[in-house]
Each structure stands twice: as structure tokens, then as C-alpha cells.
Amino acid sequence: MRKIISLILLGIVCVGIIFALYSIPFGKDKIKVGKHYIYNGIKETGAVNIVTSVVLNYRGFDTLGEVTILFIAALGLGVVLYGKKKKRKEGLEPASLVLYTGCRFLFPLILLFGAYIFIHGHLTPGGGFQGGAIIASGFLLSYLGCPRKWISKERFNITESLGGLVFVIMGLIGLTIGGYFLSNFLPKGIANTLFSAGIIPILYCAVGFKVGAELAGIIYNMIE
Amino acid sequence: MILITILLIAFGGAFVTYLAGKISGKLRNILAVLVSLALVVLISLIYRREISREYYTLPFLNLKLILMSNPLSWFFAIIIAGIGLLSILYSLEYMKDKERLDYYYFTLLFINASMLGTVISGDLLSFFIFWEIMSWSTYLLISYKGGKAIAAGLKYIIMSIIGSLAMLLVIISLYSRYGTMEISAIASYMQTASIGYTLFILITSSLSFVIINAFWPLHTWLPDAHAEAVSPFSSVLSAVLVRKGIYGLYLFMYVILGLNILNKLHVGFISFSSVLCGIGAVTIVFAAFTALVQEDSKRILAWSTVGQGGYMLLGIVFATASGMTGGMFHVLNHCIYIALLFFVAGAIEHRTGGIRNINELGGLIKRMPVTFIAALVGISGLIGIPLTNGFVSKWLIYKTLILGNHPFLAFAAFVGTWGTVLYGYKFIHNIFLGQLPEKYKHIKEAPLLMQLPMILLTVTVILFGVLPGIPLRVISAIQRQVALPPLQTTLFGIPKEAGELNMINVLFAILISCFIVWLLFRRAAKSVPVQQDDSYAAGSYVPKEKYHYTVNFYNPLSKMITPYLRDVASLFYLNIARGTQRVCNIIRRVYVGEVGYYAMYIVLFLAFLIFIQMFF
Amino acid sequence: MLSPVLLIAIPLGFSFLAPLLKKGAKYIPPIAMLFNLILSILLVPQVMRKPIIVLLGGGWPPPFCINLVASPLGILLALLISLVGFLVSIYAIAYIKEGATEKYHTLYLLLLTGATGIVLTGDIFNLFVFFEILCISSYALVAYNGDKHGLESAVKYLIQGSIGSSFILIGIALLYGLFGTLNMADIANNISYHSLQSPTLYVALAFFITGFGVEGAIFPLNAWLPDAHSSAPSTISAILSGIAIKTGVYAIARVTYTLFSAKGFMIFIATIGIITLLIGEMSALGQKKDIKRMLAYSSIGQIGLIIFAFGIATYYGIFGALFQLVNHALAKSLLFLASGYMIYRVGSKELSAFEGLGKKMPLSSLVFTIGAFSLIGLPPFAGFMSKISIISAGIKANNTALFVFVIIVLFATIIEGCYFFRVVQNLYFKKSRDPAHNCVRDGCPTTQKSEMPISALIPIIILALLIVAIGIYPRLVTGIIESAAIGLMDKVGYIHQILGIF
């Protein structure tokens, strides 16, 4: 009975959405804001990667919010798991030599790759979130492969907070110098070079570190 | 300005008294007396002065709040202030050893202040605001004693909220129609309102007044509340607070609508007034007989408060000179003697350690003579024996009913009085006459501070009974204010043209007949005091403790009438309350506690929205 | 330099700072909220003259960039949030002792930041982001106590909340697909051209109302609320009730008035409000045991009243709604805070355990009573003023349906009176039971007084004083509420201010 009712309800919603989508022009070049970003993005922000220009310049405030959401998720997990720590199993079997060596070998490489991704976020596809995720995967590997080499959670917390602070402080500096919160107060430089697009690379570094630390912290919490 | 001063002193005094209580109990008591005394003085100063003054502007509704004073409000204001002062005086001794006294005095003063506020407000919004403040502060004091008083308080506040919300509906509706809440302005607008609207206004607003004045069938809160409150406050409740209902009815019926409109409101022979008359008559009879079967001294008085309200109603609905005057005068008289009687009940409670069941008492006349005289005079006033104030007002009301050709109403009023005689006698007899129980052998007279208010009120009962002209002048001023025919009065009563009543003649007649009776008794043989055992038990042993011959007073009559006195209204409300609780419990089950359902609710809502938007 | 963006940026910065401070973290929220409070008070005169439009990012003109709109409405709510947030955070200094305290304080500050962002932003997607900040931090905080109930209700809240959020996202996507813009003024501008005929708009509106309705606790969508309120720490219940659900209501009002200006739809909103009101109040009356749950149901009822007032769709209605919103935020947070320590002291949420507390905790009981009276709408407390303005708005609208609704509102007030007086009489007039009764924690009360710690007492006393002050002198807040109401009604002005300044 419940299922039938649910089905009917979903059917109505479905019909509604179909009607709604009917009048939305798909694939047509009508998107007002998007067009503006595509044609003026590089000129206005100096970032070659338009996605980045949108993420960190036009809608940089949203990004700050999203970083915060991730931050909250990590904190929230900490709150929920607080006081539920089981004792770590003492007799952990060490990983095999191959795995151990592999981990130690790959770990810096992964970090480096992650860093590359977020530092070049304004030039190539990718950015802080992606880079951060890659870094976190490096930590996951290290947790799984070499359990002895755990990095203390404190450091993650500090990195996390600093990343967030840098973002906010950059915004405030922007407010003081440029008159707008998060305004691009550094010179835009020449497009396609590493040191271009003003504060975008700095923000992306902050985001990268923060996301990396957060995700790693979450993994740490979950493993424990 | 003086009105604002009155309000400031009344409310500010309450707060200051509370704070003073934190420092010392004596200071608090002195302050409480001073504040209420100051109010009496200030209010007597504004006698015969018509003042109207804006004191506050409510920004968002764009309303000016007004205070005013006119004969009607002065009449009620002086009653409130006077009884307030006396009850504070009485409390000094009565409440001595009770706990939370700061709270008690604060609330009592606060209630007095809010009652004053209601009568001197010149617009309906301030009237309502003070009314609501009065409701909740009264609630706080009714429940003060805990125990049974809690349920009584809850019953009171719920009924009172219902009433005041009905009133809120009325005043907001008037406001949105006419854009003002000033009583005089609304009165002039209402002259042109349609009959249906007028009826809506009148009936809805009457609801709250009928509740507060405890007319049948909305009386159910009163007996509990009055019986369970502390005695000084019971007297305030009975004497003043309840009569705010009469004030409100008068305000809406005569000040705002006026006689012309009231006369238009009828369907066939049923009119608004005739319905009120019916209610009044039923209230009188029902309450009188219920009081008859009560065994609790304060409950008897509480029921009599209900019943006497009916007389006032019967008086004021007939807009004739004598009816209106009688009704209003009865408000004053009832206030005086019922306050007195509650003081008496309180004094007995105080001395006997909280005994209210009159069957356990008896013979206290020897121990508490002053209290006895107070009770005797009070009960005489309640019954309406000549030379007490109750006689004059009841006489006016009877005259109205008889001259107005209302045999049934008059009959009901008479029956009510018979009932009053019976329970009045029972009250006096069971408490003061008869055998003094062993345990009360060493009881003392009430303390002086408690006697003082009682003596004052006793004297007033007699004074207004002999010289009714004093209060009647004030009342005729009210009549003039609302353009109703005033009753001509002299100092001793009513002149010949208006239907003669001269209390000084009655006084002399009674004095002379008393003298003759006294002479006759002097001539007759001397009586010989006999021991009770000799006369009643023929010399056999009488157990002193258990035996008490005043139990089951009026037993045959009680047996006869009790089946008819089931409080149907009360049961009805109880059922409503239970039903509501049950429904609420069922409603609460909507929150089943399972997320699956909740998610479905959300989708349901969305689907519903889409559905109605698609099709409408 | 008094940019409204600081209202968001500073708390955000502080909350990133908080985890670094460990023990000192508990002082961070009061500092940040005090800053916000002062800033928003300073902004009030400026905003009353003309709303401030704040551009963010590159400073490109809207709609190309995110912008904040510090309108009277936004600042009013920001002020309310910072005020309540400040007081509650002071209370929390002593109240929150166990658990991951520095995480608590960080999350708490973030929740308030999210709420501030919601009321200030002028961009629909940005609004969604802040909504998520608010919701996710409240999910975590509901579970803060770490017991089974807390986790269970947090998960329930999480599920329903995320359904709601995804609905909002769908709504945003539909609008973006239709108009290619996310700026609210721009969308509103476009919708005025379209008029509300396109089914897409219908459906988007439905999604928005459902989505925001979950956080705003309108009737069938509010099932998370009683659980969440009753199992969260009292400070969080206070914030959820006082602030979080208000933002949902704000969002609904914003969407219906500014975005869609759906006049014909309003009577429907009023109906929903009335149903919510009735169900909430009746459930509260039916709830005789758990006091926090009772307060939560009463919140539902009050939200219903606010939504009803929004649904009246006249200036007076909106005024009443905003006024009631402010008063309810003050009163309900007061009630939750007061009951917080009472529950702590008696060791039980049972209503019957509160018997005779009036003697042991006189001040807390007094302020509880003031809050309760204000909610019932008794003069001279703040709630009376707002209730009377709602009722007068309803009658003034001159609509039979609304008149009937007003009578229902009055009826609901009676119910409200019943259950609040029930608590008040428990506090004051019933004799307290055996002192050892229900006592589980250390420091449980014996017969003597055991008032709250002073740092917890000050905030609730301030709240109580505010309630009385507003009740006696409503002009304290009515000025800004009036301009906020005018601002919300004036859709054309809103569009003009944001799009027309360049």
C-alpha cells in the first residue's frame, strides 16, 4: 500500500519535472551569465581555465562556502565519532614488503601530483578540490600500507584551519585594497603563465591544502 | 496627568513593594498599605472630574491609547481601590506566617493596578491589555496555595483566555472597520452599523463578560477559584474582579451601543436583553440552591457570588431608571457585604487552623463576637433585610421586575432570595450558633488588624442601608453620562415622585418595633438557662466531640433538590477538555517516528504542490 | 569600511581559527557574535536610508558576480541572529562541558555564519550554499550529545534535510536553465516578464517551497523537528528554534515574494500556515512528558503562525509575520535556555520533574514564565504586540477565509495557553517531590537553591528583559521591521536597486 502511494506520488512529481524541462531550452546558446564568462573570463580574471575563473573569481564566495561545508563535514564527523574510539588493534600485522615499499615510493609522488594539480588550477583542468582529493588519496594509501607512519591528526587540523584562514584573509585583504571582498588585488600577469591570474593560485593552494587535510582527516577518523 | 499618576503608582508600587520585600518584611507591608491608600486618595480626588488623556502611541497600529475618567469608571475605580486597601490591611495579619509573601503582595497589588487600568482606559485596546494582565495575574494568585488551587487556577485561566480572545476578535474587528479604538469614537460609528454586525460585536464581546461574571452556563470556574484562593484575595475576586463583567456589559451595551440600538436587536419577542434576562434568572435560582447544599463556608459564599450576579444582570438589562440604578447599586452592595463575608470566613479559617467545613464548627459566637456581628450584618445584607444596603438595591430590582410586567423573572428573583435566606441562616448557624466543639474552647477573637476591615465594612453596610442617597447620587451620574433616565434620589432614599422609599422612616419603624418587642420580653417571664444535656438528651450521656446537631441542615430539602443540581455545564466542559486532549494525542501520532514515512510526507507535499499548480 | 560582508567573513575567519585554540575555543563564538552584533547595529541607520549592495569577487556588476544585499530585512535578521547567537554562546560557555567542545563551538559559529549568509545574500545559489552550511552544521550539532537518541534524530534530520536540499538544488537548476542567471533580482526581473504561466516556474516554485519548507518546518515537512530539538543540547535547540527554522521561513518569503511574487498563491501559503499552526499546537498539548519536545511542537505552531501571516500578503501581514518572527526567536530561545539548566539540575526532561522548581531556581523559573507568557501572547510581553498585529492584519484583509483563519489562530492561542500554563503551575504551585527523585548526576539539587551559573543566567535575563521591553515599548523594533516589510513587498524596488545601479 505504501509502495503504491509512493509510486503515485513519484509519478506526479515526475510528470511535473517533465513539464518543467519541456520549456527549458537545452543546448541553445542562451545562457546569459555563461556567455559572459566565456567571452570575458580571461580578460577579466587572467585565468585561462574558465572554470577556475568562475569558481574562484566570479563565484569565489560560493567556493569559500563550499570549502566551509567540507570543513563542517570533517568537524561533524569528529563530533559524531567523539568518544567512540575503539582501541587500535595492537597486533597489527605489518604489510608485506612489496606493499610497504610501494607505498613509501608512491606517497611523495602522489602528493607532488596533487600539488601540481592545484597550483596549475588556473591554467589546466583541475584545481584545489581535485588536488586536495588526490593528496588525501595519498594519505589513504599510506594509512593502509604503512600503518606505522601515521601523521598525527593535530597537523591536519592546523593545516585545515590555516587553509581556511588564508582564504578569508585574502578576501579581507581584497576588501581593503580592491574594495570588494575576494577581489583580485594582485596583478593579473600574462595569461598562460604560472604566475598569473592574481590571487587565484594562492586561493587554490589554500583550498588544496585545506581539502587535502580535511579529507585525510576524515579518513583518519574513519579508520580509527 | 492624575490618571497616569494613578497607573504609575499602582503598577510601580507593586514592583517597589516586591523589591522592598527582599529587604525586610515590615517595609514591604508598610509600602503595600501606603500604595493602596494612595490609590484610594488619588481616586477620590478625581470624583466628578471628566478627564480624557492620551498617554501612549502604539507605533505600528497607529493607535493612540487613552486614559479617561467619568462617573462610570470612577464608580468602579473607587470600589477597586477601596476593597484593595481593605484586603491588604486584612492580609497583614492573615498572611503573616505564610510563605512567599513578597510574591503575594506583589500579585495582589498588581491585580488591583490592572483592574484600575481596565476601568480608566478610554480605548478598547488599553482596556483589553489591562484585562489580559488582570487575567494572568489573577491566575497566578488563585493557584498560590497549591493543592486543589492548581486545578482551579487552570480552569480559570483557560476560560478567561477564551473570553478575552473573543473580546480581542471584537476590538480588532472594530479597529479594522473604523480605524480607531477610542470608546467615544466607536460609539458614534456604531450608531450606523448594520444589525448583524452589531449583534456579532455584542454577542462575542459578551462572552468574555459572561465568563468573568460567572453567569450560568459559564460559571464553572468561579466556585473552585473563589473557594481555593486565600481569603483576602477571595474577597477581592468576589467583590471586584467578578464585577468587571458587569462593567464590560455596561460599557458595550450602553456606552458603546446605546439604548436605541439595543431596542432594535430582536427577533420576534426574543431580544438580546431577554436572553440576558433568562441567563440572569437561571443563574439566580441555580446558584441559590447549589449554595444551599454546600458544606464549605467559602464555597457557599462563592456560589452566592454567582447568584447575586444574576440580580445585577436583571437590574441593568432593563434600562429603566430604577432597574439600572438597582443593578449598579447592587454591584456596590454586593461588593461590600461579600468582601465582609469572605473576611469573616477567613477569620474563622485563620483562628481554627484552616477549617472551612461548617459542619465542624459551631458556637463561635461566644468566642468571636465581633466576627459574629460582621457575619450577621453581612448575611442580612446578602438576604436584603431592611436597614442593610442589600435591601435598597433588591427593592429597586424587584420593583423594576414587577412594574415591567415580568412575573417569571420576579418569581425567580424571589426564589433566589428564599434560597439566600436558607443558606445565609445555615452559614450563621453552623458557624456561630449551636454547640461549641471541645477543641475550639480556647479560640480567640480575630486579631485587631483583621477586625478593622470587617468593622469598616459592617458599618458601611448599615450606612448605605440607612442613607442610600450617598451612593445613589454617584449612580445617577453614571446614568446621565450614558443618557439614560437617572433616578431621583434623596439622602434617605427615593422621593415620592419616583416611587417612594425612605429608609429613615423604616429605621424609626424598626427601632420602635424593636423597642416594643424588647418591652414585651421584659414583661414576659424570665428564661432559665438549662444544660443542653437536660433539654435535648433527657439527661443521658452526649459524646461531646462527635456529636453536633447542625450536620445535614435542610436534609429533606437537599435530598429533594440535589438531583437537579448536577452541574451539567461543568461536566460538559470537562468532556470537551478530555476530548481535546484525546484528539491532540491522536494528532501527535502524525509524527510516527519512521524516516520512511517522513520522506514520503515530503514527496507528498511536493506532489501536492505540483498537482494543484498544474490543475488550478 | 563597515561592509556587511564582514558579517559573514569575520565569523567565518574566527571559526577557522577556533579549532587551533583548543580550550580557548569557547570564547570565540561570543567574540565573533559580539562583533556582528555591533556591526549590524551600526549598519542599521545606513540601511534604513538605502539598502547596501555589496559586490563580491571581482566586483563585476550583478548578475555576473555574487552580491550581498544588506536590506532592512537582511540586517534585521542578521541583527537577530547575532543577538540570539551572542547570548546563546555566552550561555554555552558554562553549559557545554563534555564532548568535543572546540568542535562544538566551531560548528556553532559556522551555523550562525550560514544563517547570516542566507539572510544577506542576493544570489540564489549562494543562498543554497549557506543553507548547506547551516544544515550540515546543525546535523552534526544535533548529534553532539552522542547518545543513541541524538544520533538517531540527527540521521533522521540528515535524511529529510538532504531531500529538502536536493529539491532546492533542482529548483535552482530549473531557474538557471530557464533564465541563465542565478542572481535573485535578475531572476525576479525575468519572471515578471514571463508572468507565472510557464509550468517550469510552477514546478520550480513547488520545489523551492518544499525544499525550504523542510528547514522552515511547515506541516508535513517538519517531522525532523521534534526529535532534533529534543535530543540536541539545549543551546542548539534554542538556536535551531530561534534561528535555523527562521531562515527557512525567510527563504520561503523571499522566494514567494521577491522571486515569484505569486499573489494568487498566497492564500495557499496561509492555509499551510494555519494547518501547521493547528497541528503544532495540538501536538504540543498532547505532549505531556518531554518538555523539550513540547517546546519543539510549540515552535512548529509558531512557525505556522508566522507563515500564515506571510500568507496574508498585505503589508500588515508581513509586518506581523516579521514581528512575530523576532519575538518568537527571543522567547523560544529563552525557553530552551531556561529549560536547559532546569533539565540539567533535575536530571530529567519529564515535565513532572519540574514540580516545585520555582523555589529552587527562582530566576530561571521567572524568565521561563515570561517567555511562556510572551509566546501565548499575553500583554505586556512582546508576543502580544506581534499577535495582535497579525490578527489585525488578518481581519483587515477583509477576506472570509482569512477571517476564519484568524478564529483558528485564536483557538490555537487557547491551546497554547493550556500547555504553557501547565508548565508554569508545575514550576510554581506544585510541591517539589522527593529531592532524590530522578537525581542521577553529581551536584543534583537537594532542597536548597541551585540556580544556574551566573554566565548562563545573564543571557536569559537579557532575553527576558528584551521581551518585556519590546512588549512595553514596541517602537524599539517596529521601525526597522516596518521598513523590512516594505522592502519585502517592494519587488520592483528590489530589482531596481540591484540591477539598476549600474
What does the DSSP assignment read for B527-592?
P----HHHHHSTTS---TTT--TTSSTTHHHHHHHGGGG--HHHHHHHHHHHHHHHHHHHHHTTS-
Tell me how close the Cα of C392 comes to any Cα of chain B, in angstroms: 6
- Is A2's Cβ below 8 Å from some Cβ in B? yes
Tell me how close the Cα of C7 comes to any Cα of chain B, in angstroms: 29
| pLDDT for C77 | 92
Distance CA C431, CA B87 (A): 27
Secondary structure of chain A in HEC code, one letter for each residue: CHHHHHHHHHHHHHHHHHHHHHCCCCCCCCCHHHHHHHHHHHHHHCCCCHHHHHHHHHCHHHHHHHHHHHHHHHHHHHHHHCCCCCCCCCCCCCCCHHHHHHHHHHHHHHHHHHHHHHHCCCCCCCCHHHHHHHHHHHHHHHHHHCHHHCCCHHHHHHHHHHHHHHHHHHHHHHHHHCCCECCCCCCCCCCCCCCCCCCHHHHHHHHHHHHHHHHHHHHHHHHC
Residues in B lying within 8 Å of A, measured between beta carbons: 596, 600, 603-604, 606-607, 610-611, 614
Q: Is-contact B398 B325, C-beta < 8 A?
A: no
Q: Is residue C1 part of a domain?
A: no
Percentage of residues of chain C with pLDDT beyond 90: 20
Interface of B with C in 595-614 (CB under 8 A): 595, 597-599, 601-606, 609-610, 612-614
| pLDDT for C58 | 66
Distance CA B135, CA B212 (A): 9
For chain B, list residues with pLDDT below 70.
268, 497-498, 530-551, 616
* pLDDT over threshold 50, residue C445: no
Residues of C in contact with B135 (CB under 8 A): 378
| pLDDT for C487 | 87
Distance CA C126, CA A64 (A): 10
Nearest to C425 among B150, B161, B588 (CB): B150
How many domains does the structure of chain A reveal?
1
**pLDDT tier for residue C80 given thresholds of 50, 70 and 90:** very high
| pLDDT for A216 | 81
Q: Do C63 and A32 touch (CB under 8 A)?
A: yes
* pLDDT over threshold 90, residue C169: yes
The DSSP call for residue B52 is E
Q: Is-contact C439 C347, C-beta < 8 A?
A: yes
The residue of chain A with its CA nearest to that of B604 is A9
Q: Is-contact C72 C49, C-beta < 8 A?
A: no
Instruction: Output the nine-digit C-alpha cell for A167.
Output: 582564504
Question: How far apart, in Å, are the Cα atoms of B98 and each of B91, C386, C483?
Answer: 10, 39, 52
* pLDDT over threshold 50, residue C440: no
Chain C: list its partners (3+ Cβ pairs within 8 Å).
A, B
pLDDT mean over C168-183: 86
| pLDDT for C128 | 92
Nearest to C19 among A61, A157, A182 (CB): A157
A123-137, B220-234, B519-533, C348-362, range with the lowest pLDDT: B519-533
- Is A21's Cβ below 8 Å from some Cβ in C? yes
Residues of A in contact with C64 (CB under 8 A): 33, 36-37, 58
Q: Do B614 and A19 touch (CB under 8 A)?
A: yes
Question: How far apart, in Å, are the Cα atoms of C291 and each of A47, C234, C287, C339, C483?
Answer: 57, 11, 8, 8, 37
Residues of A in contact with C103 (CB under 8 A): 75, 78-79, 82
Tell me how close the Cα of B616 comes to any Cα of chain A, in angstroms: 14
Burial class (CB in 10 A: 0-12, 13-18, 19+), C50: exposed
- Is A73's Cβ below 8 Å from some Cβ in C? yes
> Dihedral of the CA atoms A48, A50, A52, A53 (nearest 10)?
90
Instruction: Output the nine-digit C-alpha cell for B102.
Output: 513578597
Tell me how close the Cα of C181 comes to any Cα of chain A, in angstroms: 6
Question: How far apart, in Å, are the Cα atoms of C213 and each of B499, B545, C161, C221?
Answer: 72, 72, 10, 6
Residues of B in contact with C322 (CB under 8 A): none
| pLDDT for B531 | 67
Residues of C in contact with A77 (CB under 8 A): 140
pLDDT mean over C407-416: 90
- Is C179's Cβ below 8 Å from some Cβ in A? yes
Cα distance from N-terminal residue to C-terminal residue, chain C: 21
| pLDDT for C489 | 86
Going by C-alpha positions, the residue among C392, C41, C403 that lies closest to residue B58 is C392
Q: Is-contact A37 A157, C-beta < 8 A?
A: no
Q: What are phi and psi of A78, to 5 degrees?
A: -60, -45
SS3 (DSSP) at B112: helix
* pLDDT over threshold 70, residue C441: no
Instruction: Output the nine-digit C-alpha cell for B90.
Output: 486584612
E strand intervals along C398-462: none
Nearest to B600 among A6, A12, A15 (CB): A6
Residues of B in contact with A2 (CB under 8 A): 596, 600
Cis peptide before B556 (omega within 30 of 0): no
CA-angle at B119, arms to B116 and B121, nearest 5°: 100
**pLDDT tier for residue C134 given thresholds of 50, 70 and 90:** very high
The residue of chain B with its CA nearest to that of A16 is B610
Going by C-alpha positions, the residue among B91, B105, B6 that lies closest to residue B53 is B6
Distance CA B474, CA C473 (A): 37
| pLDDT for A122 | 76
SS3 (DSSP) at C377: coil
- Reading phi first (left if > 0) and then psi (alpha if -120 to 50, else beta), residue C23 is in alpha
| pLDDT for C81 | 92
Q: Do B607 and A13 touch (CB under 8 A)?
A: yes
- Is C264's Cβ below 8 Å from some Cβ in A? no
Q: Which domain holds residue A156?
A: 2-223
Distance CA B560, CA B200 (A): 41
Highest mean pLDDT among A122-131, B319-328, B548-557, C268-277: C268-277
Instruction: Output the nine-digit C-alpha cell for B122.
Output: 478610554
SS3 (DSSP) at B413: helix
* Chain A interface disruption, residue of C2, C6, C14, C16, most A CBs within 10 A: C16
Distance CA C295, CA C284 (A): 7
Distance CA B500, CA B503 (A): 10
Higher pLDDT, B318 or C440: B318
How many domains does the structure of chain C reveal?
1
pTM reported for the whole predicted model = 0.90
- Is B15's Cβ below 8 Å from some Cβ in C? no
Cβ within 8 Å of residue B197, ≥6 positions away = none
* Chain B interface disruption, residue of A2, A5, A7, A13, most B CBs within 10 A: A13
Q: Is-contact C213 C221, C-beta < 8 A?
A: yes
Going by C-alpha positions, the residue among C137, C498, C185, C66 that lies closest to residue A62 is C66
Cα distance from N-terminal residue to C-terminal residue, chain B: 59
The residue of chain B with its CA nearest to that of A15 is B610
Distance CA B485, CA B319 (A): 8
Task: Estimate the crossing angle of helix C184-194 against helix C491-499, to 10 degrees.
Answer: 130
**pLDDT tier for residue C326 given thresholds of 50, 70 and 90:** very high
Going by C-alpha positions, the residue among A217, A212, A48 that lies closest to residue A131 is A212
pLDDT mean over C300-321: 90
Distance CA C109, CA C118 (A): 14
Nearest to B610 among A2, A5, A13 (CB): A13
Instruction: Output the nine-digit C-alpha cell for C410.
Output: 485564536
- Provide the number of CB pairs (under 8 Å) joining chain A to chain C: 189
Highest mean pLDDT among A20-24, A81-85, B603-607: B603-607
* pLDDT over threshold 50, residue C159: yes
**Amino acid, single-letter form, for residue B120:** I
Q: Is residue C446 part of a domain?
A: yes
The DSSP call for residue B487 is P
Cα R_g (chain A), whole angstroms? 22
| pLDDT for A21 | 80
Question: How far apart, in Å, are the Cα atoms of B51 and each of B173, B340, B352, C122?
Answer: 27, 32, 48, 54
Tell me how close the Cα of B589 comes to any Cα of chain C, in angstroms: 8
Residues of C in contact with A14 (CB under 8 A): none
Let me know how many helices (H) and strands (E) chain C has, helices first: 21, 2
The residue of chain B with its CA nearest to that of A19 is B614
Residues of B in contact with C482 (CB under 8 A): 60
The pLDDT tens digits for C237-249 are 999 988 989 999 9
Cis peptide before C63 (omega within 30 of 0): yes
If residue C151 lies in a helix (H) or strand (E), which one and from where to where?
Answer: helix C148-179
Q: Do A61 and C17 touch (CB under 8 A)?
A: no
- Reading phi first (left if > 0) and then psi (alpha if -120 to 50, else beta), residue A197 is in left
Higher pLDDT, B229 or A122: B229
